[in-house]
Amino acid sequence: MPARQGAAVEGSQAMPVDRPDLHARVAAQREQRAAASARRTRREVLRRDGVRCEVAGADVSPRTLLNFCSNDYLGLSQHFAVVNALQDAAARDGAGGTGSHLVCGHHALHGALEREIAEWLEVPRALLFDSGYAANLAVLQSLLGDDDLCVQDRLNHASLIDAARLAGCRLRRYPHGDVEGALRQLRSMAESAAMLATDGVFSMDGDLAPLRELAIAARVQNALLYVDDAHGAGVLGPDGRGSVAAAGLDAKAVPLRLVTLGKALGSHGAVVAGDADLVDHLAETARPYLYTTALPPAQAAAALAAVKLARRDHWRRERLQDLVQRFRVRAEGHGLSLMPSDTPIQPVLCGSNANALAMADSLERDGYWVAAIRPPTVPEGQARLRVTVTAAHEPVQVDALADALAVARDRAAHTAPSHAA
């Protein structure tokens, strides 16, 4: 260190600066979360065997739970063809991505996956990202700037909200599913370039965006419609092409959409698909694309195998739909509060955080793993158990879960809400 700088640092030690202390702030925030039953903990999965998970307990020995909170909707994450593809590619090309796509990281397996997805979705182009979170940051950051407008559904995924912040654009939100509200927000800044961004399937509610109406709104307002189809791809529409295809829309109406590979496609990563000029622009300018290491090629090989299975195995979607309807009928028969969803996301509303936690605990005692979702992930007072059904579940397991939910609700009603962690 140069002598003069060293002297300056030593001199300042005499007078500590009275700025807010970050350790103290963190401790205060942790106490607030504890008081609101809003502490968050992770569970360690010791072994995963389809829908059965061996899970380490906080203070109990490991136990096997039936998993009703994963996003592995088609049951592909442990499919032998998917895992074999990953193992073979890793044996040939290694475990890492070795560099960013624009330096030396772009592998033929990445290209093959992009082409397969573009063909599947019937769009000109697709670009692979390390995650859906990064892809959303990339799309908004590379297309929108300070003077631009991004209009979003109030219940959009957090990554879309963060993406608008990173882009620096004006973010205007509209009430959930309210197309008139979206139009109002677009009209309020008619001079600005604009994007209308929505989840295709809402991740914590399971309902669908009114995509046909939103497409009309975007067209008349000359705004670009971007659909985050993290939970629709593989599950909805002809050949599992997702919520955009299910709504009968094409790449003209929806110039860009996001397909994540870590949910129904059972692997990892994400693809932005659509208009060739826009996608090529992302590949050259999006910072979350340029300044990160490429997905390992072996991971792309796994996703490629999964996409082929998802396209081919219609029975997985049919089985999933049957199980979803079966769950709804049985849960409603027990008087449980479901939401208007026909997708594998079947939240059960619990009200308070404490009630949601008590029900989740009760389910766990009976051998079921369902995540309690609390604010800020969902609005205040709308804590819920986010039940997800997959094609890998058995009908009897779905029935038993609905019955266990009713028991959990009754138990929680009879215990004081004393749970705090």
Ligand X SMILES: *Cc1c(COP(=O)(O)O)cnc(C)c1O
Nearer to ligand X, 270 or 309 (CB): 270
Q: Distance between CA atoms of 396 and 408, rounded to whole angstroms?
A: 18
Q: Is 100 exposed, middle or buried (0-12, 13-18, 19+ CB in 10 A)?
A: middle
- Of 223-231, 301-309, 355-363, 386-394, the window that binds ligand X (rule: CB under 6 A) is 223-231
The structure tokens listed for 45 are 């999965």
Size of the site for ligand X (CB under 6 A): 14
Other beta carbons within 10 angstroms of residue 241's beta carbon come to 22
Residues counted in the chain? 421
Annotation says 203 is catalytic: yes
> Does 228 contact ligand X by CB under 6 A?
yes
Other beta carbons within 10 angstroms of residue 164's beta carbon come to 26
> Does 205 contact ligand X by CB under 6 A?
no
Minimum CB separation of residue 129 from ligand X in Å reads 8
Annotation says 308 is catalytic: no
Tell me whether residue 231 is annotated as binding. Answer: yes
Which of 230, 244, 278, 402 is the binder for ligand X (CB under 6 A)? 230
The structure tokens listed for 382 are 């709308």
Annotation says 414 is catalytic: no
DSSP one-letter code for 295: P
The catalytic position among 79, 263, 268, 393 is 263
- Of 35-43, 224-232, 276-284, 367-375, the window that binds ligand X (rule: CB under 6 A) is 224-232
> Does 70 contact ligand X by CB under 6 A?
no
**Computed over its alpha carbons, how large is the radius of gyration of the chain?**
23
Helix locations, 195-312, DSSP H: 211-220, 243-246, 276-285, 287-290, 297-312
> Does 231 contact ligand X by CB under 6 A?
yes
Which of 77, 185, 203, 362 is the binder for ligand X (CB under 6 A)? 203
Q: Which residue type occupies 277?
A: D
Tell me whether residue 40 is annotated as binding. Answer: yes
User: SS in 3 state form for 1-13?
Assistant: CCHHHHHHHHHHC
Region of residue 238 (left: phi > 0; alpha: psi -120 to 50; beta: else): beta
Give the residue at shortest CB distance from ligand X: 132
The catalytic position among 110, 231, 268, 393 is 231
Nearer to ligand X, 274 or 358 (CB): 274
Which of 72, 93, 114, 199 is the binder for ligand X (CB under 6 A)? 199
Binding-site positions for substrate read 40, 157, 377
Per CB under 6 A, residues contacting ligand X are 131-133, 136, 157, 159, 199, 203, 228, 230-231, 260, 262, 270
